């Protein structure tokens, strides 16, 4: 029987973009996910992502059994915070290039919000005013293939992005992920400490070796966490879409090891 994963995507990348990763996890794992976070009017984006965490909890608690929470960037942070609040919903959490912020990080973010330079230290500034419409998928693919963020994408993942991140808009195609929502998510990145109690389920952080999001001090802070495991893989911040098959292989290894450990513990 397949084990349940609930996947949460990176900001601006609808879950269907990760289809090659999901397919590679089958049949051992069955992946559930939201189409895109932050677009449900019941859970509008707010400061410190409280409503986004509530949205995720709302959907995870509808699963039949506790899940493996796997999230990329934004998604990893949301799963981490959700598991702190509702550990009974989770078997474990894997954060794919998602930072756990230290005191200095949080103070900087708080100051950036207060003094108006948050767009300079998050991708919000690059998101503002970007191109949103294209005449067809071929034009869109050529455009994104030339962008630094997409340059290392697996070709199938780039095709999936062009197919699923765009939707018809009159005579053209438009980005499906609302630009203002994406900017709001970046601008409301949490600056408050998540919780005082330690996480009660297994936790793993997988960092892309060339990532500029999860830095060395984030890895150090993570390795000090109780029950935390740290992995380093080739690629940048977008490694789940650059190397989806390698990412799936590592996830299978981590989750299967945790599952075996849980069975051993239950049998003792």
Query: Is the confidence at residue 1, as pLDDT, over 90?
Result: no
Task: Say if residue 225's pLDDT is above 90.
Answer: no
Tens digits of per-residue pLDDT, 155-170? Answer: 999 999 999 999 998 8
**CA 176 from centre of chain:** 17
Confidence of residue 257 (pLDDT cuts 50, 70, 90): very high
Q: Could you tell me if 79 and 93 are in contact, meaning their C-beta atoms sit under 8 angstroms apart?
A: yes
Q: What is the largest CA-CA distance in the chain?
A: 64
Contacts of 37 (CB under 8 A, 6+ apart): 8, 9, 52, 55, 56, 74, 75, 78
Q: Does pLDDT of 267 surpass 60?
A: no
Q: What is the pTM of this model?
A: 0.95
Q: What is the predicted pLDDT for the residue at 268? A: 46
**% of the chain beyond a pLDDT of 90:** 80
- The C-alpha torsion from 120 through 125 and 127 to 129, rounded to 10°, is -170
* pLDDT at residue number 215: 84
> What pLDDT shows up at residue 195?
65
pLDDT at 196 > cutoff 60? no
Tally the C-alpha atoms within 13 A of residue 29's C-alpha that lie toward its C-beta.
Answer: 26
Measured in degrees and rounded to the nearest 5, phi and psi for residue 265 equal -65, -35
Q: What is the mean pLDDT of the chain?
A: 93
Give the mean pLDDT of 78-87.
Answer: 96
Structure confidence by residue, pLDDT tens digits, 175-195: 999 999 999 999 999 998 776
* Among 98-102, 134-138, 145-149, 224-228, the least confident range: 224-228
**According to DSSP H, which parts of the chain are helical?**
19-25, 50-60, 74-85, 103-115, 118-121, 124-127, 137-145, 155-164, 179-187, 216-223, 239-242, 244-267
């Amino acid at each position: 029987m397949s084990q349940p994963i609930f996947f949460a995507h990176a900001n601006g990348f609808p879950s269907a973009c990760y289809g090659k990763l999901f397919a590679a996890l089958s049949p051992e794992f069955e992946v559930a996910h939201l189409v895109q976070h932050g677009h449900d009017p019941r859970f509008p984006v707010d400061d410190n992502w409280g409503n986004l965490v509530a949205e995720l909890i709302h959907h995870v608690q509808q699963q039949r059994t506790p899940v493996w929470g796997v999230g990329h960037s934004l998604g990893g942070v949301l799963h981490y915070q959700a598991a702190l609040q509702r550990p009974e919903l989770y078997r474990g959490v894997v954060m794919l290039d998602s930072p756990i912020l230290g005191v200095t990080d949080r103070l900087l973010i708080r100051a950036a919000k207060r003094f108006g330079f948050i767009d300079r230290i998050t991708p919000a500034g690059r998101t503002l005013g970007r191109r949103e419409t294209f005449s067809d998928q071929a034009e869109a693919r050529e455009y994104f293939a030339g962008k630094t963020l997409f340059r290392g994408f697996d070709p199938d993942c780039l095709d999936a992005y062009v197919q699923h991140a765009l939707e018809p808009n009159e005579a053209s195609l438009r980005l499906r992920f609302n630009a203002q929502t994406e900017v709001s998510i970046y601008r409301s990145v949490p600056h408050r400490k998540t919780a005082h109690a330690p996480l009660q389920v297994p936790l793993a952080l997988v960092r892309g070796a060339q990532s500029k999001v999860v830095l060395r001090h984030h890895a150090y802070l993570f390795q000090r966490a109780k029950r935390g495991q740290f992995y380093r893989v080739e690629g940048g911040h977008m490694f789940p879409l650059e190397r989806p098959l390698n990412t799936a292989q590592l996830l299978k290894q981590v989750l299967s090891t945790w599952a075996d450990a849980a069975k051993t513990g239950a049998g003792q």
